Chains A and B, each alone.
Chain A
Amino acid sequence: MRALSIGATGMLAQQVNVEVISNNIANMSTTGFKRGRAEFHDLLYQDLRRVGSVSSDAGTIVPSGVQVGLGVRTAAVYRIHEQGNLNITDNTLDLAINGRGYFQVELPSGETAYTRAGSLQLSPDGDIVTPEGFLVAPGIRVPQDAVSIAINTNGEVWVKRDGVVNPELQGTFELATFVNDAGLEAVGKNLFKETPASGGPQVDIPGAPGFGSVLQGALETGNVNAVQEITSLITAQRAYEMNSKVIQASDEMLRSVTTLR
């Protein structure tokens, strides 16, 4: 009875779907979060009666054969890199990227990760770091006696020091873009890593052609749309139920066979 296992593939797929949706909803207010979408593919088809097989000695052929599909599987959990809303926070070190690009984060392991969550902070040494304390490339140090920090749309960090008239340029943030954003690997903590599918990073200053600009005092919220997620949740749950009914019905068919004697 193929229907039993086909129903099971359907239930498994919908389970993954619900898991992805619940992760989206859980991260609704995570800064820089990119929502995921589970996508499904139909499985193999089994030819029970081949198309084009000869059906009589007069040479007539079967115009469409019997092909039975074997269910469904999760093809991909696809990340949608659409920009989220920009939330004005007026916090000096909250940076949002308006347009394409990622901040580069230097991990303790020496690798580079990428993030759009620009809720940055200062380390004890005055370095601009992520909330985890990882340095944001290229590494900008704010002097101890800084009174105010201004970051312009091109990522330049200008610091006004106590007793000095003119602000001083401390460094410039660089952004990285990828040919295929969706190919980036999410590693948690709002960080992404490059993969063969994403292609290598292209690095330039914010505001360069093809790169987004930096906005100080704003944060990019998650791009989760609550209404959309809830509707998907309803669809997923109903689909799960329907597949469980298929299993019940197949079970009933099998049971009636066993009572045949």
Chain B
Amino acid sequence: MKRKNIKSSGSIVNRGSWGLVLFRFRKNKLAMIGLVVIMILVIASLTAPLYIDYETVYTQCIKDRFLTPGTDGHILGTDQLGRDLFARIIYGGRISLLAGLITVAMALALGVLLGGVAGYFGGWVDNVIMRFCDVFMAVPRMLLAMAVSAALGQGTFKMVIALSVAAFPRFARVVRSSILSLRGQEFIEAARCYGSSSPRIIYKHIIPNGLGPVIISATLSLGSTILSIASLGFLGIGVAPPTPEWGTILAENRINIRYYPHLGLVPGLFIVVCVMCLNFMGDGLRDAMDPRSKV
């Protein structure tokens, strides 16, 4: 088994080299299943325009309403307006995944910036930034996202902003604590001793070592963000009908679930599977990066 060592020779990476992490991750069956399923979902979403005619997402056909899965070429059946459920779910997935990714990316960017600065400089800078983050953590995330949504108004991108605002403090904390734990370690001092400058230290030592917890956090956060998007969609905030999104689909068909269970089960299942796979991946990454846990 080959091991890839990270760039700098001087780093004592207490999580092992990336090659080792990859190897341990691959050994984790659940994490690998999660990865494969997510890849399938992502590819299916990206290539959707190739195999689904966009019109079917919105085309209503009242005489074809409530078809059960498998009838008449509708793989997953139709909803109360006769729209093809499969098409709506795949396109809904595009929105959920994309919105989720952008939310996490934005929150991550802001979080890394704030947490990085706070962790690296310490002192009053650290204090101010942490108090700032505390303010945003003073209320439950859902509540904050909803309040910001109220201020900004309806719309998918506005919802993304609202969710990012609610999410960034956690990333800032993760990044900060990652950096703080690294600063204490002696290899940073050692690097200074042989003349490394601050930016170089950040680039060669802190980032490779500190990246781990951030990646784990981002992966897990993606899962909970998708849940939040679905919940907000269900409540009618953010993504609005008739735009398909897993949460809005469930909301639209709410009253019909009793008699046409596929309308409730299918979108829900997609959400559960998607989030679960992301959680498997996140947990798998966490176990792979922790040298103490048995893999």
A and B from one complex: no
Seen from chain A, the residues whose Cβ lies within 8 Å of a Cβ on chain B are none
